[in-house]
A and B are shown apart, each in its own frame.
Chain A
Amino acid sequence: MNNVSVYCELEEGKIADVSFELLSKGRTLANQLNCKLEAYLFGHKLDGFEKELAPYGVDILYKADDAHLSPYTTLPHTSVMVGLFKENKPQVALMGATTIGRDLGPRVSSALGSGLTADCTELEIGEHEEKKEKKIYNNLLYQIRPAFGGNIIATIINPDCRPQMATVREGVMKKVIYDLKHKCEVVNVDAKKYFDETDFAVKIIERHIEESKINIKNSPVIVSGGFGVGSKENFQLLHRLANLLGGEVGATRAAVDAGFVEHERQVGQTGVTVRPKVYIACGISGQIQHLAGMQESSIIISINNDANAPINKIANYVINGKVENVVPKMIKYFKENSK
């Protein structure tokens, strides 16, 4: 009761990275709240997963093993989760902001009448005073996310509803082993008890999994462009520089929406969070949603003809100039001088 819970997502039989990241964050929150960390794993043939999960500080693993739970479909997972949440009453429920988490989370939150905050970039514990009612709430989950418009960060709370639910994108939290010898209690759940016959309305008739060819998350160098780069053709310059430096091309949402690059390259709150050695921002003004996804880069180089672009404030190097002039010069120097 009153614990921190994390929904652990399976991707083709493996636990998703985002779930480990959330368990790491969940462990920190549970320590602050002085409660236990629960993991929820639903699928089929789940033997042995507790060994993978325990080192991240999981105290109790609720395991629902049933053929109906794999591959994922919305309603059976919702029924099991809603049923278990009604019994276990966790105070916090975290899940990945993935195609699964964003399908399941709102359905569960609606069934429980509980609030859900999408795409949080930070989670903290804090208090809240409701001045009108002179009521003080302790140990609330602060769900922090950049909000509409660019320069604001909103802190969202659910004072009265439990669980306090939040989704977080992959890469936002850090995956940290808590204790290799951590003891994890396993509770085997009888999923059938929670199913309703209408839960099997949606049938998967074909699945075709393709690994994305583009993966910028682990690239040491990212050359990223904004709407200001101007066209798909101009992005070729960025591709050339990225290739030379052994990196990948990233982009802002505006550049992706304009069709200059694939959406897998979008860096920011609703895209990928990256921490490369070098982030070269070409013609990027620096909306907070974008900065949220790259501000922890070791070295940030901003190329911009607007000397007052917000991104320049967090850049280590600012090159005042046009992308189409500066990037070719960088390419030229690098070709001539690299070993």
Chain B
Amino acid sequence: MNAFKIIVLAKQVPDTRNVGKDAMKADGTVNRAVLPAIFNPEDLHALEQALRIKDQFPESIITLLTMGPVRAAEILREGFYRGADDGILLTDRAFAGSDTLATSYSLSCAIKKIKDFDIIICGRQAIDGDTAQVGPQVAEKLHIPQITYCEEIQAIDKKKITVKRRLERGVEVVECALPVLITVNNSAPHCRPRNAKRLMKFKHATTMSKHQETGGDYLATENANTHLSIKEWGISNIDCEHAQLGLAGSPTKVKKVDNIVFQSKESKRIDDFDEDISLLMKELIDSHIIG
């Protein structure tokens, strides 16, 4: 029987869709503390595609890989609740300040350590940067083909995968031999909800550092309940060149960040009384701006 080894790349992101008024501090910087951290939406679409392969071929194994601070383990648990088999948190101070290229390099080193895979699936882009670069860059670093903008994996066997892509102006169906990296669009189906049994089973899954922090007996945990631990890898766990990591490994630098001060226009302010709106509309029609 066919079974596939699938790696899903995911990112924990601040929920920029729910930016409230207190999201900006008085000095114009972002107040990250008030923004909830979520599973990047398109990465959930990617997980769903992986789960659908597993539905069809139950022996398949889905490994969720994320890079971020220790609290990013939250999204690995979220992935467990929905059906992922394994979770790896790539975390190290040395990764701080990574741009897309340094991020892709670090992820590709972790994937080389996982070694055995047929398909890598990730979201097209993350909502905090919208760059859509990490997927293709990871594929390039691993020297495997990429299929971007996937809406549906239509068929898969050991020889090849058939993917429907959603483009700006139409659709394209492509096929490719494995291994391959696929980035999934937001037009793909939403991820299934959490499974109650899995939620009970994995809700205490933690990383080793978190476990030690809370004073747990990590030896006992490690031996008795392996499903309760999330793998935590730092730079000592992967084979990588330190010069290519983090800020130093990032060719792009932020030169400056400006707050926007718009040139205030002389704006005409009116209320929503009938007469006021009628006068405005009359003015617009008379000056041929509308009509």
Given the complex of chains A and B, what is the CA–CA distance between A300 and B263 in angstroms?
Answer: 14
- Which residues of B lie under 8 Å from residue A110 when comparing CB positions? 101, 104, 136-137, 140-141
Q: Interface segment, A44-52, A56-64, A111-119, A183-191? A: A111-119
**Contact at B251–A115, with CB atoms within 8 Å?**
yes
- Say whether A161 contacts B251, CB under 8 Å: yes
B39 within 8 A of A: no
Instruction: List the one stretch of B46-54, B193-201, B204-212, B280-288 in contact with chain A.
Output: B280-288
In this complex, what residue of B is CB-closest to A319?
A: B270
Q: Which residue of B lies closest to A308 (CB)?
A: B21
Q: A317-B280, A319-B277, A330-B281 are in contact. Are A102 and B132 (CB under 8 A)?
A: yes
Inter-chain contact B173/A205, CB cutoff 8 Å: yes
* B68-125, CB < 8 A from A: 99-101, 104
B131 at the interface (CB under 8 A from A): yes
Interface string of A57-79 (1 = CB under 8 A from B): 00000000000000001110010
Q: How far is the CA of A42 from the CA of B67 in the complex (A)?
A: 36
Collect the chain A residues with CB atoms within 8 Å of residue B133's CB. Answer: 102, 105-106, 109, 116, 118
Q: Is the CB of A206 within 8 A of B172?
A: yes
Name A156's contact: one of B254, B269, B271 (CB within 8 Å).
Answer: B254
Contact: B253 with A149, CB < 8 Å? Answer: no
Tell which of A33-41, A84-92, A331-339 binds the partner: A331-339
Taken together as a complex, chains A and B put the C-alpha atoms of A103 and B134 apart, in Å, by 11
B residues within 8 A CB of A317?
267-270, 280
Known A-B contacts A119-B130, A317-B270; the reply to A111 vs B140 at CB < 8 A is yes
How far does the Cβ of B105 sit from chain A's closest Cβ, in whole Å? Answer: 9
Q: Indicate if the CB atoms of B169 and A209 lie closer than 8 Å.
A: yes
Interface size on A, residues (CB 8 A): 93
Give the docked Cα–Cα distance between A187 and B209 (Å): 58
A203 at the interface (CB under 8 A from B): yes
Given A113-B101, A314-B265, A316-B265, is A151 in contact with B145 using a C-beta cutoff of 8 Å? no
Contacts of A98 in B (CB 8 A): 168
Nearest CB to that of A11 among chain B residues?
B169
Q: Please, which residues of chain A bring their CB within 8 A of the CB of B256?
A: 154-155
| A residues in contact with B277, CB < 8 Å | 319, 326, 329-330, 333
State whether the Cβ of A312 lies closer than 8 Å to any Cβ in chain B: yes
Q: Interface range on chain B: under 10, 10 to 19, 20 to 34, or 35 or more?
A: 35 or more
Shortest distance from the beta carbon of B14 to any chain A beta carbon, whole Å: 7
Check: A157 CB closer than 8 A to any chain B CB. yes
For B179-201 the 0/1 string (1 means CB < 8 A from A) is: 01000000000000000000000
What separation, in Å, do the CA atoms of A70 and B167 have in the docked complex? 16
Interface membership of B175, Cβ < 8 A: yes
- Known: A155-B256, A202-B145, A325-B272. Is A313-B291 also a contact (CB below 8 A)? no
Complex contacts, A74 vs chain B, CB 8 Å: 136, 145-146, 148
In the complex, A322→B100 CA distance in Å? 42
Check B255–A156 contact: CB distance below 8 A: yes
> Closest residue of chain A to B21, judged by CB?
A285
Whether B258 and A155, one on each chain, are in contact in the complex, defined by CB atoms closer than 8 angstroms, is yes
CA distance A34 to B180 in the complex (A): 43
Residue B64 is within 8 A (CB to CB) of chain A in the complex: no
B101–A316 CB distance below 8 A: no
Interface membership of B216, Cβ < 8 A: no
A132 within 8 Å of B (CB atoms): no
Question: Given the complex of chains A and B, what is the CA–CA distance between A316 and B263 in angstroms?
Answer: 12
Residue A1 CB within 8 A of the other chain: no
Chain B residues within 8 Å of A142, by CB: 255
**B-contacting residues, A187-210, CB 8 Å:** 198, 201-210
Contact B262 A291 (CB under 8 A): yes
Indicate whether A180 reaches chain B with its CB closer than 8 angstroms.
Answer: no
In the complex, which of the residues A109, A153, A329 contacts B258, with contact meaning CB atoms closer than 8 Å? Answer: A153
Interface residues in chain A, defined as those with a beta carbon under 8 Å from any beta carbon in chain B: 11, 73-75, 78, 98-99, 102-103, 105-107, 109-111, 113-119, 128, 142-143, 147-161, 198, 201-212, 221, 245, 253-254, 257, 269-270, 277-278, 287-288, 291, 295, 298-302, 307, 310, 312-322, 325-326, 329-330, 333-334, 337-339
Report the 3 A-B pairs with minimum CB-CB distance, sorted nearest first: A321-B272, A115-B251, A115-B252
27 CB contacts below 8 A, A to B, read A98-B168, A102-B132, A102-B133, A102-B148, A103-B136, A106-B136, A107-B146, A109-B101, A115-B101, A115-B251, A116-B101, A118-B129, A149-B30, A156-B253, A156-B254, A161-B251, A202-B176, A203-B175, A204-B172, A205-B173, A313-B262, A314-B263, A314-B265, A317-B267, A329-B274, A334-B285, A334-B290
